[in-house]
A and B are shown apart, each in its own frame.
Chain A
Amino acid sequence: MTVVGRTWERLTIPGKILAVVIPLGAVLTAGLALLIALIGGAVVQFLVDNLPLVRFVVAATIVLLMTVPSAFLIIYMEMKVIALMNLRYGPDRVGPFGSALSVVHGLKVLMKEDFTPTSADVPVFTLAPVVVYMSSVMSLLVLPFAPGIFGQDFNIGLLYFFAMGGLTVVGLLMAGWSSFNKYSLLGGLRSAAQVVSYEIPLTLSVVGVVLLAGTLSINKIVLGQAGSVLDWYVLRQPLAFAIFFIAVTAEANRTPFDLTEADSEIVAGFATEYSGMRFGFFFFAEYVNVFIASGLTVALFMGGWNAPFNWPWPVTVGLDPGGLGIGLLFLLALGPPVVIIVLGLPFYLLNSQVKFWQALIIGFVLFNLLAVAAVLGLAFLSFDWVVGLLWFMGKTYVFVFTFVWMRGTLPRVRIDQLMGFAWKWLLPASLLNLFVTAGAILVVNK
């Protein structure tokens, strides 16, 4: 037993942890400092030189992070809305109105055993959920949420979008094939047939919009719909909108086209053998797809972030805090206490049960609410993108609700009806729409 060993023995457990962590932290900090000193300048220079790359990485990260809460929200919506349509209450235990239930589901999925069946094709089996999820997330990159809020503004954005969306089928096929389960295989093949068939009317129906807008960039298509509701493409392309909505439902594997995971027929389709977080990826990807489908519908046909009417009295906020000079300091120092007291005093005066300090707390809370509301209102008025984001999200969630609503109402179609509908009805209709649009453009331009 050496001296070090004896000292180590005498340490308590927190002591042991600290004795390891503190020197380690010191060494790492020093190393980092050294690293920055040595190559930091070069890295910063590189990043400054390649700003689009930085922007792309940041956007991809944000999009990736954004998918999880939005999927949670849509899952909760689906549970609650379908429950209410079924005349039941749905989730109502976890969180306010059960809103945290989908988060709990996510945690449950994380904690479950990640099971790989014997004789599955392990690498393919493992990669399949990643492919599906990544293809969903990647297509989100070109979706414009608000003026200036988008991952990347490609000039071939729409093409990129459909390419990425089409990649989903590869993941589903991988999952279906590698699971070594006949139900999975059937589900994978069904999804291949379905997605490939519906890709064609989907793309062709959008061509009319592209002709009208003259660009493939989704951002520019949205800009082309600026103005009131009359400028939206849904009014100029109603047939295309109908075709697009049906096809995008099929692309997102939603009821009534959810044949790939028809639980009453082929158990869970491609996801039969998946469990744990790998199943969670499929599950999340489905709801991210719903969000994407709704968002794209909004962007292409419903005017994107544009408000449905022109606000006739434009409000400009000419707030210039710097103009107040030294008064700003006084305002910042005295304003909050005064407002807190002013807001809290009525409670103290009107209700003898409330003590003064309680009134102060009430005042503080009210003040904070007011302040947040004021800041948000200011942002809403002074920044375009806040307005745009709110409009975009509002419209998107109307469509998400429609998807959920359809799931609560409609039964599932059969595979032959599904394919027949795509090839016999949607494809001719979209071609017709394309020719009529092209002809109209020719006539008008003459």
Chain B
Amino acid sequence: MSATRAALPPKEQLDEPGGRPVDRRGGSTLLRHLAVVLAAGLLLVAVSYSVEPFRNFQLATVAAYLCATAGLTVLTGLNGQLSLGHGALMATGAYTVALCQTAFADRGMTGGWLLPLSLGAAIVSTVAVGAVVGVAAARLRGPYLAGVTLAVAVVVPALAVTFDGVFNGEQGLSVPVEPPPLSLGPYFPYERWQLWVTGAATLLALLLLANLIRSRYGRTFRAVRDDEVAARLAGIHVARTQVLAFVVSAATAGLGGALLAVLAQSVSPGAFSLTLSLFLLMAVVIGGLGRLTGALWGAVLLVALPDLTHSVTEMLTLSPAVAQRLEGNLPLAIFGLTLIVVMIAAPGGVQGLLSRLGRALLARRPTRRS
């Protein structure tokens, strides 16, 4: 059934007001995506001027995580492959950026083009790692894939320690990053610059992902997810599709990790633990699996969580003995509980909930008109 579905235009495309099917060719899709990205970019710049530096930094972190969650949602949501090891892919990108930036700094090289170069290198190295894992992953299904990716996630600290001459063990590396260019003025807030850099990289990545999803490749991703046998009968090379999905996902995860390293100006295995991998997965599912908007909600959640957690405990005035026990734990308990309740009450995640709401509102309009 998926093969037929893949061949047809997406259903919603026909649901234009008035029921006129609209012809959409690749070109116009690209243009529309470009417009959305440009608008988002402008909005981001505007926001970066209107909020405090800390919010700028938080937004920059959201952008970095968004890269990773968007890639993961493409892999898991659209292609049906479960990965518990995206933290390790992020680490690959992060360490690459750290090594590149350090190498540049050691050689006394400066210039605005160095950072994009390092980020590019990060993507390339993660793609290489992702291809290797992807080839193995294409043979595996469900929990077996989960098992292998879990092992990949756990291997990061081990590698960092084993090759501590390069990666400096559990302590990690620092990432030298140049200050904002002087042309922006001498007092340009560093956090705003960070938001610009990560925002630009992330929007670019999202643009590419959005186009990919709408393209023939995106359709084959979904076809393979829905029914491998049918996809194979429809002439889709299943294994190749799965490896491609993994590689794409790895590339964005690598970029996300690299951006995170640039933001933190340091890399260490502790920042890319198994917990991160699991949180990424939770984020995309809670946000709404298989949708880039869901990935956005997930990324927001990843950043807002520690912040929220702190506010929760600060709101309460407790005796020191009680506070000491609740501090840190109470927010996690609340988060865990929320996770369970949301998954039971709204399995489509935040975006699923919003879509349902939106549909309910939209559903009224045409009837009124006709």
Real binding pair: no
Which residues of B are in contact with A by a Cβ distance under 8 Å?
none
